[in-house]
Amino acid sequence: MGSVFKIILQRLALGVLTLLVVSIVIFTAVNMLPGDFAQAILGQGATPEAVAAIRADLGLDKPPVTRYFEWLGGAVRGDLGTSFAQANFASFVGANSGSGLTTVAAQIAPRFENTIFLAGVTAAIAVPVSILLGILAALYRGTIFDRAANIFTLTSISSPEFFLAYVLILFLAVLNPVLPSLSNIYAGMGFGERLEKTLLPALTLTLVVTAHMMRMTRAAIINLLASPYIEMARLKGLSPMRVIVRHALPNALAPIINVVALNLAYLITGVVVVEVVFVYPGIGQLFVDSVKTRDIPVVQACCLIFAAAYILLNLTADIMSILSNPRLRHPK
């Protein structure tokens, strides 16, 4: 048990170090974006003195190293900074620097909640379907079902997200108006209505992530079917489905957990295109809008949240794989 705890601590320390390195990359990349935020606020007719005053109020005149450590220290304390995108910039120039401003945390919180809801609905559909298809494809490998499942999943994974989204909109919202084409989610909406408006983007993401999980499940199970203990189970007269579910699947959990965690991370970090297509008010849509308006604090916060979610889910998959496999818990 002590060795497992030590391994978990090592993974957590590595995750924190990775997040620190990623924060440096995020800060550097965001601040290298073309255009000047102060110039965007004031417009083309701005005087150099007004631009310099805005840069001083926003702290953009400080050295990059100083601004990075101020941002990192605030992020550690839970303070992601202040958003200027929705402020009244005309009054901002002549008023105090805090007037009309919205904190980044307050702006991101409802959007992140919507993204988590979308990812949860997608995972609730995709994970069971993918594992079931993988088991059936391994059970009936080489048959028409196996080939059809592989062709379908490869086609879906090879198609861009926006293309799949528009195909689903065409068939499920235009030709057969079953689901709404726009996901206009708002605060206070009932669970049933929210689920209905989230279902179409969730189905789009399901088509994207199902192939990875289904093919990994199939490959992991087929890899174990030639093992001696599987042959013994067959010689005892167990049914093929029982052999796979009771004996092969538990030993194939480590790679399956890894691929499921990677796809769950994609559901949080890779939903930008899908949210833009369906105008879904999630963190991906907020990220795109913030890049357009050069709202640096919001862009940095969104990137940091994406990176933290990806690293956390990968660490979780790593730890669960170790716990589920005795050979990883007790390496030679």
How far apart are alpha carbons 277 and 182 in whole angstroms? 8
What pLDDT does residue 327 have?
61
The pLDDT score that the predictor gives to residue 41 is 66
Judge contact between 308 and 269, C-beta under 8 A. no
Q: What is the pLDDT of residues 284-322, one digit of tens each?
A: 888 888 888 778 888 888 988 988 888 888 888 777 777
Bin 142: left if φ > 0, else alpha if -120 < ψ < 50, else beta.
Answer: left
CA angle 310, 281, 214 (to 5 degrees): 45
SS3 187: coil
pLDDT at 325: 64
Coil, strand, or helix at residue 83?
strand
Q: Considering Cα of 221, then 224, then 226, then 229, what sign does the dihedral take? A: negative
Beta bridge partners of 83: 102
CA angle 221, 223, 227 (to 5 degrees): 100
Residue 38 half-sphere exposure toward CB, CA atoms < 13 A: 17
Per-residue pLDDT at 87: 45
For residue 21, the model assigns a pLDDT of 92
> Which residue's structure tokens are 């929705």?
86
Cα dihedral 127, 132, 137, 138 in deg (nearest 10) = 100
3-state secondary structure 168-196: HHHHHHHCCCCCCCCCCCCCCCCHHHHHH
Which neighbouring-strand residues pair with 82? 103
For 102, phi then psi, to 5°, come to: -120, 135
Give the pLDDT score at 258.
Answer: 80
Half-sphere exposure (Cβ direction) of 87: Cα atoms closer than 13 Å:
24
Amino acid in position 171: F
| AA identity, residue 330 | H
Q: Domains, the chain, ranges and CATH?
A: 1-332 (1.10.3720.10)
3-state secondary structure of 193: helix
| Distances in whole angstroms, Cα of residue 199 to Cα of each of 97, 156, 233 | 42, 17, 41
- Kindly give, in sequence order, each residue whose CB lies less than 8 Å from that of residue 173, ignoring residues fewer than 6 positions away: 179, 180, 181, 200
Query: What residue ranges of the chain have pLDDT lower than 50?
Result: 87-100
Residue 154: its pLDDT value, please?
Answer: 83
Of the candidates 29, 277, 262, the one whose C-alpha atom is nearest the C-alpha of residue 170 is: 277
pLDDT of amino acid 326: 62
pTM of the full structure:
0.80
Q: Where are the beta strands (DSSP E) in 225-325?
A: none
228-266 pLDDT tens trace = 888 887 888 878 788 877 777 777 777 788 888 888 888
Query: In degrees to the nearest 10, what's the CA dihedral of 117, 119, 124, 130?
Result: 170
Q: What phi, psi does 325 have (nearest 5°)?
A: -125, 110
